[in-house]
Amino acid sequence: MQSYIVYFGAHSHGSEPTFTDQEHATDSHHEFLGSFMGCKEKAKQSIFYSYNKHINGFAARLEEKEAEEIAKHPEVISIFENKIIEVHTTRSWDFLGLEKSSDIPLNSLWKKARFGDGIIIGNVDTGIWPESKSFSDEGMGPAPSKWRGICQSGMMDEGKSDGIKCNRKLIGIRYFNKGAEEIARYLNLTIPSEFSFLTARDFHGHGTHTLSTAGGNFVANVSIMGNGYGTAKGGSPKARVAHYKSCWPPAFPGCADADTLAAMDTAIYDGVDVISASIGGKEDAEHFESGLQIGAFHAMKHGIPVVAGAGNSGPAPSTIRNSAPWLITAGASTIDRDFVNYVTLGNGKILKGASLSYQGFPPDENLYPLILPEDAMVPNASVAVAEDDRNSCNAKNILMDLKKLKGKILVCINKEQKATVHDISSLQPAAGANKDESEPGFGIITINDKESGNYLKANTDRIAMSSMNFTTGESIFAYIKSTKNPVAKISSAKTEFNMEAAPMVPPFSSRGPSKVEPNIIKPDITAPGVNIIAANIGAPQFPYKTATGTSMSAPHVAGIVGLLKILHPHWTPSAIKSAIMTTATTKDKSSRSILDTNNKEMTPFDYGSGHVRPDLAADPGLVYDLSVDDYLNFLCTRGTDEKIISMFYPEKTFVCRKSSNLIDFNYPSIAVAHLNDSVTITRRLKNVGKPETYNVSVEEPTGVSVQVEPKSLTFGKQGKEKTFKAVFKRDSNDKLDRYVFGALTWSDGYHHVRSPIAVKL
């Protein structure tokens, strides 16, 4: 007899259940199951866990037919098998090597850096849900003595028992909304101030998710309805964290530059050590026409690294955001874990999709009719729908006939991967089909358009749902056309591990080259950003959720930066960035070149220096360091007036170096935006390891010869700096108007200090 978990959501007895409350909950579980088994005593014998405190549900031994009947009950959110599962979550830290199957190796950066204990991570985002267990301060001492932050309560929090509160983990909370109010007033937007403008509480979920990814504490027994089960934690799990709310969705459409700048300014004052900012403009802004990039510049001056996402506008070239060289710009990658389910077609073909749906259709052998949006419309609704949108999941003006959907599986095209059950207005009325449980509701199969290709994101919903890639979708449409009565069934979701083709670059991750800064390769690095499990807001039955985007990649890197700050407290932000970049890998788990989800080989404009490797970043051997003066001279080479530059640094008199050249900016990657004949670049390396001799090797870009002098560098002691030059020369004068790629690596046999090369011919 199989064991199942039956899940109802949350209890009505609140967050502080008494013993009587718990007894009543258990009794209600016995009553419920007894109604299916014929008597309460049988139910008591079957149930071996009654979840009676916060989670409302039970685990019981059931016949398959009993499980099928229970799944039809309107009060049941889901019923799923009690499976044997591995201990993994978030899987990303295992994938990055900080742990191995939940065991932490002795040489792990986590252990070396005390899990980030002593560091303060600031997060600029949509607010915080302080009650999340990820921000528990259990076992933590007082905040560092340097801390000057506050726990700001808004009018919405005052006098409320559930008002926003800090602790020894979450040591600071502030909000900034004046810029948003001004924009709202200008645009005549109606903002419900009582909803979210007067509190730092997160009503969107983005900020809570990102901060817990960067610095969330260890939380055991986390899963998404049994999937991804394990211990959730951030990159610096023992760090203190502070949140600066400058973004106001859903009440306001984004973040105001004025608020972001105020948040950055205050974070610097408060004493944060790292800033994670998963935000960015619709286009890549000039460096000093962006609140984030200005704030990051001043943070850099104060020794505070700032990590930002590359943006989610890929895969087209030159879609990169946050290209300022003083930012660490993170692109997204997949990890070696998939959330999957399977669709069985009436012709017997079984197709793999992506899903985190809480349930499939009832666990029987029934197949359900497939229906296209154009066949489920209300009469005459198709008149206003463009031909290309007739079978789209995204079309806003398609109205569905609920009766046509009931008991069927809707098959629709998910354009640009932007549709979810919650976002598709045309499907919202159809959700009502589930209210009458006398017969099954409906399911959804979303299929990528050609542009989205084979990239899949697991959507979370209570409806049976599966996301299919373009290639698989073609076979589904072919099957529908081949028969008068196409049918299928959707399985429940499960977790699969150890995907060999990982990491991969998903299509949404924004690409270089930067239109604003073509002489610098951006993004700098890639990090996990697909189906990342981290803290959620609100609903106690769903304390953790998955999210996807470069917004998830940035806090991964910020958490790693926190560890490096502990291990190397005197390193500059640029030294930390260099260590992360020069130790990255451009290979996947099977030692092949990193690909995108359509199996196309990627370049530095897709993944930057490669995929982050935290343990190697702790000991890079050499770094390409940059001082504040170096950044100011960088501005000189861009044509910024010297008087203006001096205003960035009033503490001292600044004069532009006469010999400065933009191509000689001491960045850890090498970009030549236009190679006409030949060009010579200069770089400077600092030893942060033992005395060693390093030899150079070059992977020459196609059509370009590269000569480096000297070919070896000997460093006598830590802190010693040496300079080298590299001459890039075209092999022919043919104008190709395209980029070619290579790499330059210095190695002592143990360390491999690698810089990607991008040259436009």
Asked if 515 and 247 count as a contact pair (C-beta separation under 8 A), the reply is no
What is the value of pTM for the model shown? Answer: 0.82
pLDDT tens, position by position, 442-461: 788 999 888 777 787 777 66
**Dihedral class, residue 30 (left if φ above 0, else alpha if ψ from -120 to 50, else beta):** alpha
pLDDT tens, position by position, 273-310: 999 999 988 777 788 778 888 888 889 988 999 999 99
- Convert 289-298 to b/e letters by CB count within 10 Å (16 or more is b): ebbbbbbbbb
Architecture of domain 2-81: 2-Layer Sandwich (3.30)
CA–CA distance, 255 with 249 (Å, rounded to integer): 8
Asked if 610 and 602 count as a contact pair (C-beta separation under 8 A), the reply is no
CA–CA distance, 697 with 701 (Å, rounded to integer): 13
* Residue 23 CB coordination number (10 Å): 13
CATH class of 622-626+666-760: mainly beta
User: How, if at all, do strands 328-333 and 525-528 pair?
Assistant: parallel
Q: Give the pLDDT confidence score for residue 435 in this predicted structure.
A: 41
* 664 CA to centre of own chain: 33
Asked if 172 and 151 count as a contact pair (C-beta separation under 8 A), the reply is yes
- Return the percent helix, strand and coil in the chain, to nearest 5: 25, 25, 50
Asked if 635 and 647 count as a contact pair (C-beta separation under 8 A), the reply is no
Instruction: Enumerate the active-site residues.
Output: 125, 206, 551
User: How, if at all, do strands 350-354 and 337-345 pair?
Assistant: antiparallel
Joined together, the tokens standing for residue 434 give 């589930």
Q: Give the pLDDT confidence score for residue 699 in this predicted structure.
A: 97
The pLDDT-based confidence of 13 (bands split at 50, 70, 90) is low
Closest CA to 351 of 228, 495, 499, 488: 488
Is the model's pLDDT at 385 over the cut of 70? no
Q: What is the mean pLDDT of residues 177-198?
A: 71
Element spanning 213, H or E: helix 206-215
* Residue 313 CB coordination number (10 Å): 19
CA–CA distance, 11 with 243 (Å, rounded to integer): 30
Q: What is the mean pLDDT of residues 93-120?
A: 83
The percentage of the chain sitting over the pLDDT mark of 70, rounded to a whole number, equals 86
Please report how the helices 257-270 and 178-186 are oriented relative to each other, as an axis angle in degrees rounded to 10: 180
Closest CA to 255 of 299, 212, 219, 309: 309
CA–CA distance, 698 with 757 (Å, rounded to integer): 10
DSSP per-residue string spanning 50-95: EE-SSEEEEEEEE-HHHHHHHHTSTT-SEEEE-------SSHHHHH
368-372, 516-520, 649-653, 677-681 — which is least confidently predicted? Answer: 649-653
Q: What is the mean pLDDT of the chain?
A: 85
Asked if 119 and 239 count as a contact pair (C-beta separation under 8 A), the reply is yes
pLDDT tens, position by position, 601-614: 999 999 999 999 99
Alpha-helical segments (H) within 591-723: 604-607, 614-617, 628-637, 642-648
Q: Is the dihedral of CA 520, 604, 212, 613 positive or negative?
A: negative
CA–CA distance, 449 with 11 (Å, rounded to integer): 41
Residue 312 CA neighbour count, 13 Å, CB half: 16
CA–CA distance, 33 with 76 (Å, rounded to integer): 12
CA–CA distance, 461 with 459 (Å, rounded to integer): 6
pLDDT tens, position by position, 635-665: 899 888 787 777 677 667 788 888 888 999 9
pLDDT tens, position by position, 733-752: 777 789 999 999 999 999 99
What does the domain layout of the chain look like in residue ranges? 2-81, 105-335+503-617, 337-497, 622-626+666-760
Give SS3 for 442.
strand
* Residue 467 CB coordination number (10 Å): 29
Architecture of domain 105-335+503-617: 3-Layer(aba) Sandwich (3.40)
CATH no. for 337-497: 3.50.30.30
Q: What DSSP character marks residue 379?
A: T
**Helix and strand totals (H; E) in the chain:** 18, 32
pLDDT tens, position by position, 121-149: 999 999 999 999 999 999 899 999 999 89
Residue type, 550: T
Q: Give the pLDDT confidence score for residue 75 in this predicted structure.
A: 84
Residue type, 675: L
Residue type, 163: G
76-85, 581-590, 599-608 — which is least confidently predicted? Answer: 76-85
Among 299-313, 329-343, 393-407, 605-619, the range with the most confident prediction by mean pLDDT is: 605-619
The pLDDT-based confidence of 439 (bands split at 50, 70, 90) is very low
Joined together, the tokens standing for residue 475 give 């076979």
Closest CA to 224 of 101, 421, 58, 88: 88
Angle ∠(519,523,527) on CA atoms, nearest 5: 160
The percentage of the chain sitting over the pLDDT mark of 90, rounded to a whole number, equals 50
CA–CA distance, 75 with 52 (Å, rounded to integer): 16
Please name the residue that has the structure tokens 């030549």: 672
